Amino acid sequence: MDRDLKTAQKAQKYELIEQWKKSDKSTVDFCKEHNLLKSSLYYWHKQLKKEEQLRRKEKSRNKFIPVKITKEKEQLNQLIEIIYPNGVKVVLTEKTDKQTIQTLISLY
């Protein structure tokens, strides 16, 4: 089957899913109205969720989180701060091991 045709059919199926989610109709009524099997609607819905999760995962994997390292000689207790894009701040002592820091940085 032609790739463009497959893409267009997929877009139509996902558009139906969006209509279904926005409608106040029961699944049975919606499927009857659109001449669909419930199992097909649920299958497309599941596929759409999988694709959305993959996109979110890929998007978060490609994010660069800037790390700013500062050094103040007069400060007695050296601290390491990790500030995530969502505003969460983690404060660590200088004695925190490298693996823990790497893990915390990669969490977001």
103: its two tokens: 């893990």
40 with 87, same domain: the answer is no
Domain that residue 28 falls in: 3-61
Q: What is the pLDDT along the chain (108 residues), one digit of tens a residue?
A: 577 777 888 888 888 888 998 988 999 999 999 998 999 999 999 988 898 888 888 777 666 667 776 666 555 566 778 887 777 888 887 788 888 877 877 776
Task: Provide the residue type at 67 as one letter.
Answer: V
Q: How many CB atoms are located within 10 Å of the residue 31 CB?
A: 19
- Do 57 and 72 reside in the same domain of the chain? no
Q: Helix or strand or coil: residue 80?
A: strand
> Backbone phi, then psi, for 79, in 5-degree steps?
-125, 150
What total number of domains does the chain contain? 2
* pLDDT at position 37: 92
Same domain, 36 and 23: yes
SS3 of 5-66: HHHHHHHHHHHHHHHHHHCCCCHHHHHHHCCCCHHHHHHHHHHHHHHHHHHHHHHHHCCCCC
